[in-house]
Structure 1
């Protein structure tokens, strides 16, 4: 009778370590305590060994105490300006300028100023650890903000007095409804008014390809003739594709179709545990590769305007570099929306990405097979805790005012999971190692280089992007000699992209750098390029028109049955409906 070989000691130890990390992740919402402890220890130890910094902080505290004391005396005399003029939206109401609430919010602003000084400029602290320490301080300060406490918020007190407490009763009902919806796995209140295929994602089209990772949507023509070059849209797979096809009035896809373009769009599958082994190469082959092959079959002998959004843009840049390396010239142009290619300065999202944090995520994903939809959403919520958490709690639960749900808000709540292998590779190869910018990222066993790109590029970034900061997106100028048109628009990562003509308070800057020309620094670019009022969509359309043939071609048929690509379902398909 044969004996079973004993397990490898290394494998046994690794499995035990992974199980331990996964168990800890369940208690810490997948955040690494070690990462936080390392940052705090680094900051505290170096601060303890920096007598000059400690002395400066002591002097600042005494100075602030003196300013606050003078302010109190002046207020008693009926005069005096605030030590720190407030531009914080939390204290915008005039009631915050009356006693004693003016003192409450000034104390908070002074404490915020002190901690910003305390967590920056400490000699010897690792920059990443300094950023984590500053972020943690901001989070605790936000918890203790007088605006979040009913008895120190004059707006809540006034509303409660005027309504006899009815606002608090409404707030309690709102809180109970939110808890019940969360427990039942239901979307937020009001999101059911924006259902894909019903109220949003309703641009007419068909599913012309379905594989284990994507459905490819082809949209029906809205004009009698079209430009000969089709557009392939590759959205991020962290969320559903229909941010680019929201309501009819703000759908970018509908806008393109109405301007005489044949549009295809990838709709990613919402993966589950069975997809745990899908990696970045699968997203390239089953995603972009399969989509391009299908577009080529439906619109033969035509080059494609490839358009990628967020992570989809990063993946598309990798695919375009691999195609350039291999002599594949099927792309006519490359448009990238809020897509990073150099991750050396990834912005505030980098606070959650270091070796300790990635290791814990990998352990958790080894158990489940995927990253849960709410985990990334939770990270984004912490980055914008006032906008996405505290202001909502004050309005919904203390003032009893539900902010009306919008199509963009409903889409934002419709998150997706991510396969374990892919997400681990994405975090390590791009965020931690920055392989793409360093010419180390391999496709098909060989590295790809953005320096090989020669096709026209249109890059869009947004001024207040917390996910892909515009200066990080701008670094593509330093990686590729291709003709590059860079556009910077007002708004954030998502709202800045959903910027239909007629949208109020929208503006942008745009400048084209010719091929093989030297580039301005990001700060010089910002100083020299004038701002223009309005939506950026027409500017991109004008650029697309300049890269396309005249719009006098006959629209292609829907699908290509003779090539084995029949129409499968009406848009928006089935993958977008998966929860």
Structure 2
């Protein structure tokens, strides 16, 4: 449940330096005969810049500093780019497992973090350590009951104990919803926004073959695999999401060759390649829980999920919620996301919108600013005051 590249998807590198060249590079100038002079000039300029600099996209990270170090996780605060507005409540971003956290911080000019900082809002993000012996033993309850709440308390401590907005993408969105549903921590949550977070996996075509195999084998095949490996490997995560857009991968050389004059599209493709190259492994125990309770049992859709031996029900979420689905998302189809609207019965302000883009595109696509980002900004503004 993380990102698959789609035409309007963007991402950024995992370092503060500019990204290396996209794998495979740009094709040679060919097939431009007969095109307008201006088109040829733009295409030539893009190829020249790529040849000179080794990349086109500016994927430097927005500066951030750690404010809280935990066992296997870190809470960071992004450095403000505009005067901080005390009337705007802070926002904590929650990335999914498997995908790099920099999906929120895209190439310059196309970054949700950059866009939010420009409004004067303080932005924080929690990141996870996916390596080490202990990582494989971490279950979903760790994120729901410990990591997300600890991050919220760390931020609230800096803001006179005021509640904090939460926004997550994909599995990160489910973490935010479940953290709000769990009453264990008493975390100070002001609102929750979930981008492309599938609640009903029966509506996800990609999952259907896995559910069939699980039914036939009683779940033993996948259980044996992740227990033996200790995790769901990063390479497997990458392959799984590439399968969701295999046609686009096959036609990528043609897309590059026929869009050499489209600088923004070329930057976008390059950034998505960087994202895919930085996928990480799913911790073994967490993947096992996802497999048995979400993929195989579809417990979330029935609001019957149990963590650490107790029920964690979306019906208990009593804060405002914004659900954003991607119109072209094959990992979290509209129906899979919309199912949550039938379960979040206690939310005082429940909003559901469908916006252009795929799984990553709805969060980070070229049309996100005027669509999902605008929805988020309006929702946060409506709930900045308690």
TM-score, scaled to structure 2? 0.75
C-alpha distance in 2 between matches for 1:235 and 1:190: 34
1:351 Cα deviation after fit? 2.6
Q: Is the 8 A contact 2:237 2:280 kept in 1?
A: no
Match of 1:545 among 371, 375, 381: 381
Structure 1, residues 103-137: CA drift from partner, whole Å, max 9, x if none?
xxxxxxxxxxxxxxxxxxxxxxxxxxxxxxxxxxx
Higher gyration radius (CA): 1
Match of 1:525 in 2: none
Does 2:337 match 1:337? no
Give 1:245-264 correspondences, 5 Å limit. Answer: 245-264=105-124
C-alpha distance in 1 between matches for 2:283 and 2:83: 42
1:298 Cα deviation after fit? 2.1
Q: Is the 8 A contact 1:233 1:264 kept in 2?
A: yes
* Distance verdict in 2 for CA 1:302–1:228, change over 3 Å: farther
Q: Is the 8 A contact 1:273 1:368 kept in 2?
A: no
Give 1:46-125 correspondences, 5 Å limit. Answer: none
* Distance verdict in 2 for CA 1:366–1:203, change over 3 Å: same
Does 2:334 match 1:498? no
Match of 1:480 in 2: 344
Q: Is the 8 A contact 1:243 1:408 kept in 2?
A: no
C-alpha distance in 2 between matches for 1:259 and 1:453: 28
SS at the partner of 1:200? coil
Structure 1, residues 516-553: CA drift from partner, whole Å, max 9, x if none?
xxxxxxxxxxxxxxxxxx43312321221111149xxx
Give 1:317-396 correspondences, 5 Å limit. Answer: 317-323=177-183, 328=186, 330-353=188-211, 354-355=213-214, 356=217, 358-388=219-249, 390-392=250-252
Match of 2:147 among 287, 308, 318: 287
Q: Is the 8 A contact 1:362 1:420 kept in 2?
A: no
SS at the partner of 2:202? coil
Q: Is the 8 A contact 1:194 1:410 kept in 2?
A: no
* Distance verdict in 2 for CA 1:371–1:273, change over 3 Å: farther
Match of 2:311 in 1: 447
Structure 1, residues 437-464: CA drift from partner, whole Å, max 9, x if none?
3232224432122112221111111111
Show structure 2 runs of 5+ residues with no match: 1-29, 32-50, 258-265
Match of 1:236 in 2: 96
1:294 Cα deviation after fit? 1.3
Structure 1, residues 288-330: CA drift from partner, whole Å, max 9, x if none?
122122112222321111111100111211111113xx59361
1:268 Cα deviation after fit? 1.9
Q: Is the 8 A contact 2:202 2:208 kept in 1?
A: no
Across the two proteins, how many residue pairs are aligned to each other? 323
1:278 Cα deviation after fit? 1.3
Structure 1, residues 52-104: CA drift from partner, whole Å, max 9, x if none?
xxxxxxxxxxxxxxxxxxxxxxxxxxxxxxxxxxxxxxxxxxxxxxxxxxxxx
C-alpha distance in 2 between matches for 1:276 and 1:377: 18
CA root-mean-square deviation? 3.0
* Distance verdict in 2 for CA 1:280–1:192, change over 3 Å: farther
Show structure 1 runs of 5+ residues with no match: 1-157, 160-188, 398-402, 509-533, 551-579
C-alpha distance in 1 between matches for 2:308 and 2:137: 17
Match of 1:301 among 136, 161, 166: 161
1:345 Cα deviation after fit? 2.1
1:201 Cα deviation after fit? 5.2
Match of 1:200 among 39, 45, 59: 59
C-alpha distance in 1 between matches for 2:120 and 2:181: 28
Q: Is the 8 A contact 2:237 2:281 kept in 1?
A: no
C-alpha distance in 1 between matches for 2:324 and 2:159: 27
SS at the partner of 2:204? coil
C-alpha distance in 1 between matches for 2:326 and 2:270: 20
1:409 Cα deviation after fit? 2.6
Q: Is the 8 A contact 1:215 1:266 kept in 2?
A: yes
Q: Is the 8 A contact 2:177 2:314 kept in 1?
A: yes
Structure 1, residues 482-515: CA drift from partner, whole Å, max 9, x if none?
221112111111122114xxx4xx489xxxxxxx
Greater per-residue helix proportion: 1
1:246 Cα deviation after fit? 1.5
SS at the partner of 2:155? helix
- After TM superposition, where is structure 1 displaced by more than 4 Å over at least 4 residues in a row? 189-195, 393-397
Match of 1:33 in 2: none
SS at the partner of 2:66? strand
SS at the partner of 2:109? helix
Structure 1, residues 137-171: CA drift from partner, whole Å, max 9, x if none?
xxxxxxxxxxxxxxxxxxxxx98xxxxxxxxxxxx
Structure 1, residues 397-450: CA drift from partner, whole Å, max 9, x if none?
9xxxxx775223311221001111110111111111122332322244321221
1:241 Cα deviation after fit? 0.4
